[in-house]
């Protein structure tokens, strides 16, 4: 007989412990991270972080999202957003990362950071890009997106400290004009959806001027470190981290690129159709199948 959602065999025989699970898909949808601006640019913002994984957190301090209920034989698009390019030259902001999508769930690409001569402010995104240090007034970091990520850090007047990119779990650090220390990237969020804890969605660290100043470090979860060299550090692939700000050690200075995003699906193996495109990696954890998309494709219910 069947009772309380479990299959139970008759008295005196072995009982199956496999539960009867509803056909819902838990997901982690992370967009591409933002690129960093040129010439002492701020750090790029992390890609938007949206999660429905039971017992975990979604980005921006929001409420955990509801699992997705697929329709049988319906194909659902999976788009993995690319990271944004770094800005080239002293006036070029970093580019925003690209959105990631699963079915009706869209995560917003991370915001590009400000540049060190003009265009100081960071751009809005899933998490916002950091501002660049400048000779005018205080410059603002870009805004984050509700339930996806946090804002980028600010930069003071004066060209020797920049703000960092926001992360999925915290605001990017502000540049400190008094000490010449740039902000550290906001941290991402650790998820065990694949049965191993991995942090994703960290903001990039702010770049800095050479000569006694200190660049920022990248946030946990793929945020790249800022530095003082002409070419900024690019974020790792498939973690949605922001690019690291560069220095001005020689023209043309180029900010680090943001990292690409990822889409991860967790669904009951008993309902798994086995029909996908895009070559996701596939594993089994308990009663669930885990699909990891590092590039775009689809899943058919």
State how many domains the chain has. 1
Query: What is the structure's pLDDT at 16?
Result: 53
The three-state secondary structure class of 234 is coil
Note whether residue 265 is domain-resident.
yes
Note whether residue 126 is domain-resident.
yes
Note whether residue 17 is domain-resident.
no
Partners of 191 in beta bridges: 198
Output the CA angle 58-43-122, nearest 5 degrees. Answer: 85
Q: For residue 251, what are its two tokens?
A: 């023209």
pLDDT of the chain, 301 residues: tens digit per residue: 233 233 333 333 334 567 888 999 999 999 999 999 998 899 999 999 999 999 999 999 999 999 999 999 999 999 999 999 999 998 999 999 999 999 999 999 999 999 988 899 999 999 999 999 877 788 999 999 999 999 999 998 876 899 999 999 999 999 998 889 999 999 999 999 999 999 999 999 999 988 789 999 999 999 999 999 999 999 999 999 999 999 887 778 999 999 999 999 999 999 999 999 999 999 999 999 999 999 999 999 9
Note whether residue 5 is domain-resident.
no
Helices in the chain by DSSP H: which ranges?
none
Q: In terms of DSSP bridges, do strands 2-3 and 189-191 run parallel, antiparallel, or are they unpaired?
A: unpaired
Helices in 83-187 by DSSP H: which ranges?
none
Query: What is the structure's pLDDT at 248?
Result: 82
Note whether residue 70 is domain-resident.
yes
Has this prediction a pTM greater than 0.75?
A: yes
By C-alpha distance, which of 189, 265, 252, 175 is closest to 223?
A: 189
Note whether residue 15 is domain-resident.
no
Output the CA angle 52-168-185, nearest 5 degrees. Answer: 160
Note whether residue 196 is domain-resident.
yes
DSSP class of residue 25 equals B
**What domain range includes position 47?**
23-301
Q: Where are the beta strands (DSSP E) in 31-148?
A: 49-51, 75-79, 100-102, 105-107
């Amino acid at each position: 007989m069947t009772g309380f959602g479990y299959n139970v065999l008759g008295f005196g025989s072995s009982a199956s412990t496999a539960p009867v699970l509803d056909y819902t898909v838990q997901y982690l949808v992370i967009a591409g991270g933002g690129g960093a601006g040129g010439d002492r640019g701020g750090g790029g913002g992390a890609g938007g972080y949206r999660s429905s994984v039971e017992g975990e957190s979604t980005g921006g301090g929001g409420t955990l999202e509801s699992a997705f209920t697929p329709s049988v034989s319906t194909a659902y698009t999976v788009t993995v957003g690319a990271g944004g390019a770094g800005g080239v030259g002293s006036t070029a902001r970093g580019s925003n990362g690209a959105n990631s999508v699963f079915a009706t769930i869209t995560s917003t690409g991370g915001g590009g950071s400000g540049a060190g001569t003009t265009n100081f402010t960071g751009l809005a995104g899933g998490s916002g890009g950091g501002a660049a240090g400048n000779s005018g007034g205080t410059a603002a970091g870009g805004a984050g997106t509700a339930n996806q990520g946090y804002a980028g850090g600010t930069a003071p007047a004066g060209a020797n400290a920049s703000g960092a990119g926001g992360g999925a779990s915290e605001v990017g650090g502000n540049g400190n004009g008094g000490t010449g220390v740039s902000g550290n990237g906001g941290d991402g969020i650790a998820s065990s959806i694949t049965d191993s804890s991995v942090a994703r969605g960290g903001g990039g660290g702010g770049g800095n001027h050479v000569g006694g100043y200190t660049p920022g470090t990248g946030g946990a979860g793929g945020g790249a470190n800022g530095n003082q060299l002409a070419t900024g550090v690019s974020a790792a692939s498939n973690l949605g981290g922001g690019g690291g700000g560069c220095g001005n050690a020689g023209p043309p200075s180029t900010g680090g690129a943001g990292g690409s995003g990822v889409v991860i699906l967790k669904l009951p193996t008993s309902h798994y159709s086995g029909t996908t495109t895009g070559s996701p990696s596939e594993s089994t954890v308990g009663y669930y199948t885990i699909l990891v998309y590092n590039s775009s494709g689809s899943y058919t219910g």
